[in-house]
Every structure is written in C-alpha cells, then in structure tokens.
Chain A
Amino acid sequence: AQTVTQSQPEMSVQEAETVTLSCTYDTSESDYYLFWYKQPPSRQMILVIRQEAYKQQNATENRFSVNFQKAAKSFSLKISDSQLGDAAMYFCAYMGAGNMLTFGGGTRLMVKP
C-alpha cells in the first residue's frame, strides 16, 4: 500500500517570504499523480497543484511550484511571496493505478504579518 508522509506538522513564514513544505511517498508504481490540497480555516479544501509522474517538468501555478524528485520519492511545495490568505492546512496526496487518493497527515502553515 502507498503511504504519504508530511514530516512538518506546522510551519510558519513571514509575509512576502518563501516557504517550502515537504512530502515524501512510498510506492512501487511508475505511473501516478501527486497533488497538493489547501484547506483554509473553516473553508472547503481546494486543489493547489497537480503533478503527473511521467512529466519531468515541475508543475507551477502562479506563486505555487513543486520540486518533484521521482527517484527520491519526494514532492515538495514552494510558496513564493507568501500572503496572509495562504495560511491553511496543506495536504500532500498520491493517486496511483487504483485511482484513489492517499493523503499525508497535513502541514499547518501560519503566515506572520
């Protein structure tokens, strides 16, 4: 079974600075998807960014980018120019051939003004 590990339960960043959230996963599959989801306080979870394993180029979405290291099974999320609205729980997730999401334990990001 696949596992997803987020080793940082909490992180903090100064507004306008850059922060990187870590995620590692374990799988024997070669084709899969990786995701970062954001859950703001008392609001619905939304998809931030998605990476297909066969694509070597790292995905980017505006201020959000990933560092996908397939051999190391690492999938970190970088948030540039952090804003107060980035404060949330962030979940890393894996989807393989079974088409079901496996989530990590989450990282709570705090943004200091």
Chain B
Amino acid sequence: DVKVTQSSRYLVKRTGEKVFLECVQDMDHENMFWYRQDPGLGLRLIYFSYDVKMKEKGDIPEGYSVSREKKERFSLILESASTNQTSMYLCASSLGLAGAYEQYFGPGTRLTVT
C-alpha cells in the first residue's frame, strides 16, 4: 500500500514564525503536491514537484515555498506565518501527472497561527 505521512497532525505557531511541514511517501513516486483545505473552498494546490529539486507553482503559492531535496520527501515552508494561513494542509503523491494516475493523500496537518 502507498503510504504518505506528514510530520504533525496538529501544529500551533505564532505570527511571524517560520514553519516547516514535512511530507514523506514510500512508493518511489515522481510527483508530490501540497494542498490547502478550507471549509467551502475544497482543496487548492499550493505547489507541486515533478522531480527532485524541481517545483511548480499551483493556484495559491503566495506566502509559501517548498523544498524537495530527496525523492521521498517534500517540505512546505511558511517563511513568516500569518493568521490567514491557519488551515488544513494536505500532502499527496502520484506516480504520474495525468488523470490515469491516482493521487494518494497524507492524513493532513491542521495548522493554527495565533
């Protein structure tokens, strides 16, 4: 079974702090994704990576950066956390990018910025 894990289920940070969210997948998938989930808005893509050290912006990249130094690990970085970044963050991975390839999701990290 594909396993996507995220470093924390719950995280509380203060405004202005630098925040790291970590995601690890164990299926040698090429592609990894970071989404933000908000009530009524569904999931929105922040960034994705199609290879080590490669990244592409999604729909809402402002205020975020990412890092992929190893194939299995994809990090989301909030350089200076703000209250409007309080949200659920979901990581996903897939073998390919086309619709025939399923995206597998992690359990999510609920981040609260105070």
Contact = CB atoms under 8 A, between A and B. Distances in A.
Contact of B45 (A9, A42, A52, A100): A100
B42 to A, nearest CB: 4
B60 interface: no
Contacts of A6: 42
Interface in A31-71: 32-33, 35, 42-47, 50, 52
A44 B108 CA distance: 7
Interface size class of B (residues with CB under 8 A): 20 to 34
B29 interface: no
Interface of B: prevailing SS: loop
B25 to A, nearest CB: 12
Interface in A72-113: 91, 93, 95, 99-101, 103-106
Interface residues of A, number: 24
B77 to A, nearest CB: 21
Interface stretch (B14-22, B61-69, B79-87, B99-107): B99-107
A13 interface: no
Nearest to B99: A33
Which 4 A-B residue pairings sit nearest by Cβ, starting from the closest? A33-B99, A103-B42, A99-B97, A45-B105
Interface of A: 4, 6, 9, 32-33, 35, 42-47, 50, 52, 91, 93, 95, 99-101, 103-106
